[in-house]
Structure 1
């Protein structure tokens, strides 16, 4: 199902997207990612959102944004409505969907891991749900010999037999080999493209796979955009952010996109464990990555061994706790793992750490903390443990209360709140009702939505 293009997403497209269907070159006035961050922050501070820029009485708001972006420039960008309608018609005819960070459908992994560095807009084709499934990111050089191509296809085949998705970049060489191996074995693949989404999605080879939910293709760049070295470098972080672990099959030393992307993960982002190929011909690039902290890929040959690799992976936790300065309206916050860890620090030890089952090991930290709190009906607990868990629950809800007051400056539905906090809808509903009972939120009807009470906005 294709998501509806929300008013906020339309406004963000007008401000940032080339909308190049029907014209040779994009507007030179488009907001850069940095400029968009600034305008998003400015709007949030005024308790407004991009969709408000499209209202009939938006002139005063545009003037209020002038200190950040020149008013006339905003007017020219927002005046591209006809060009946007042409682009939307073209995308819909090709089953291309568009989501922005303002939408509940936006991939939670990207929002949680990359935060305000997550692309403001994503274009895609295929089953969006695959973007939340994690899996193995496979990256490598474009120009490789037949032996490495076959090796990489085998990795994709084993991943498919193990029920693990492949995440890759769709480029020639290693990327396409990993994706092809998985797809031919009946596996599922998320492809993060740097260019030509429209052309690749229309390829006859891909159409059935896209329609059957075996493949999803996404790009942070206009579906008609051609190749750009900078775009190829920037999308690397999206590949890693969508995965649970990464394998570098081949890499030049100290040059190229594969090297830069892996180095960024090892030295800066640290979103997932990075492995390097450990068999076959030696590589200066791979050896250098090992010295910088990459792990030797254990070369699993069957589904069971492949699963064991993921079971041994320690989930990477996003350590940046949400702050009021970072809670843009479109950057819906989640309760960070570091926050829940800090809450638990004063009440340890509780009970022995619960083993995380295979289907729960990648749940967001807030969800895991909530699920672990209720006492087991069959497990005896003394008063100290009960008091400790009560303290943990209170601390967790205190953090949730603060985040939700920032989140609900504009009305949101129960499911949208659950999505933003990365918890189940029933849990979000329970928290929302508690805040309604406390007089913090008000519940609106038709449709049901929740919003901070006006009297609380400036407390």
Structure 2
């Protein structure tokens, strides 16, 4: 049986067995972010909500507007008033009443080799909590070697539509970062993502695929299954294992590729779409060095635009080619690289109490 805190997070944030419009809608990232902070400030743990007496007490407090003042001051979210209004007592109760559906889902996921991490677990990527703070996913799902989530990596992103020169460039970059001791992080999609991951695995390197959906489908595919069993591949998703691919989900998952990387290579980008969106978000947020490939002449318009820069960007994109990749990684990463600090198993949700804690290394039990 999984811990009570994790059970409640699953019940509040996930769908089980596909979409049913009659069910209450699970919490969004922002909704759970606020609810977790509010719970902590009211001295509740998520697992307390499985107790009949405690859930009644919690809902009575939730319906008291005065209990929300501190939480609303502590957490900064766009559209916070509407977010709070959408979390009704009825909705909470309906979500928590899905215990049987959760049990059936857990049985299926366990049979498929799926593991589940929440924010209090040591294997949960600390980069998510550090950079996303309250908006780090309450739950992540995966298959394969979860230890790879803490292995140093270079990200690869790019178009689904690729030319032979793009494939060759991707394979060349992967060979170089393999020699330097980095694994590959990518998105698992056709094109640049899949090319990078398969190139790493073919050279006995490791890879992590951050998926936007279809975790069960991906993990059962022959080209991935062998490597999952061998321990040199992990597939990660912030959505339930049965969740289907959607363009919106693909956009959302881009940030996690960057956050798990120490630098990210854009092989080919258009001026719109998922690759462009993820790269521009990283430029604005300043998460990791952004390396733009110049293997094509003339360069792709999206690549050139990224190199020109964006208004208000947090970091400047850098040109990368086959000759300077090693030097760029050494300059941007090696001198400043430090291993992730091990997390105490008792640590949990991002705290709202101070700026230091909001960096992600102070956690509560919400």
- Equivalent residue for 1:60? 57
Give 1:332-343 correspondences, 5 Å limit: none
TM-score with structure 1 setting the length: 0.66
2-side partners of 1:26 and 1:270: how far apart? Answer: 41
Q: Equivalent of 1:249, from 222, 244, 267? A: 267
Give 1:224-373 correspondences, 5 Å limit: 224-253=242-271, 255-267=272-284, 269-281=285-297, 282-292=299-309, 293-300=316-323, 307-314=326-333, 361-363=337-339
Match of 1:271, SS state, is coil
| Aligned-residue offset at 1:26 | 8.1
Count of aligned residue pairs for this structure pair: 322
Deviates more, 1:149-158 or 1:279-288: 149-158
Please give the per-residue CA displacement for 1:96-119, whole angstroms capped at 9, x wherever unaligned: 011112333311122222222211
1-side partners of 2:322 and 2:24: how far apart? Answer: 48
1-side partners of 2:192 and 2:173: how far apart? Answer: 11
2-side partners of 1:418 and 1:185: how far apart? Answer: 37
Tell me if the contact between 1:159 and 1:182 (Cα under 8 Å) persists in the aligned partners.
no
Match of 1:73, SS state, is helix
- Equivalent residue for 1:37? 33
| Aligned-residue offset at 1:312 | 0.9
Tell me if the contact between 1:159 and 1:187 (Cα under 8 Å) persists in the aligned partners.
no
- Equivalent residue for 2:109? 91
Larger radius of gyration between Structure 1 and Structure 2: 1
Tell me if the contact between 1:189 and 1:215 (Cα under 8 Å) persists in the aligned partners.
yes
Structure 2 unaligned blocks of 5 or more: 65-83, 310-315, 351-363
- Equivalent residue for 1:428? none
Match of 1:235, SS state, is helix
Q: Equivalent of 1:188, from 206, 211, 217? A: 206
- Equivalent residue for 1:349? none
2-side partners of 1:140 and 1:212: how far apart? Answer: 27
Give 1:407-418 correspondences, 5 Å limit: 415-416=344-345
Please give the per-residue CA displacement for 1:225-245, whole angstroms capped at 9, x wherever unaligned: 111111100111100000000
- C-alpha spacing 1:102/1:65, structure 2 compared with 1 (3 Å): farther
2-side partners of 1:277 and 1:266: how far apart? Answer: 15
Match of 1:179, SS state, is helix
2-side partners of 1:154 and 1:236: how far apart? Answer: 23
Match of 1:217, SS state, is strand
- C-alpha spacing 1:243/1:203, structure 2 compared with 1 (3 Å): same
Match of 2:156, SS state, is strand
Q: Equivalent of 2:164, from 146, 163, 185? A: 146
- Equivalent residue for 2:92? 74
2-side partners of 1:243 and 1:270: how far apart? Answer: 13
Q: Equivalent of 2:14, from 14, 17, 23? A: 17
2-side partners of 1:28 and 1:286: how far apart? Answer: 43
| Aligned-residue offset at 1:307 | 4.7
TM-score with structure 2 setting the length: 0.82
CA-based RMSD of the aligned residues comes to 2.5
Tell me if the contact between 1:196 and 1:225 (Cα under 8 Å) persists in the aligned partners.
yes
- Equivalent residue for 1:164? 182
Larger relative contact order (Cα-Cα within 8 Å, sequence gap ≥ 6): 2
- C-alpha spacing 1:24/1:77, structure 2 compared with 1 (3 Å): closer
1-side partners of 2:185 and 2:349: how far apart? Answer: 23
Tell me if the contact between 1:104 and 1:420 (Cα under 8 Å) persists in the aligned partners.
no
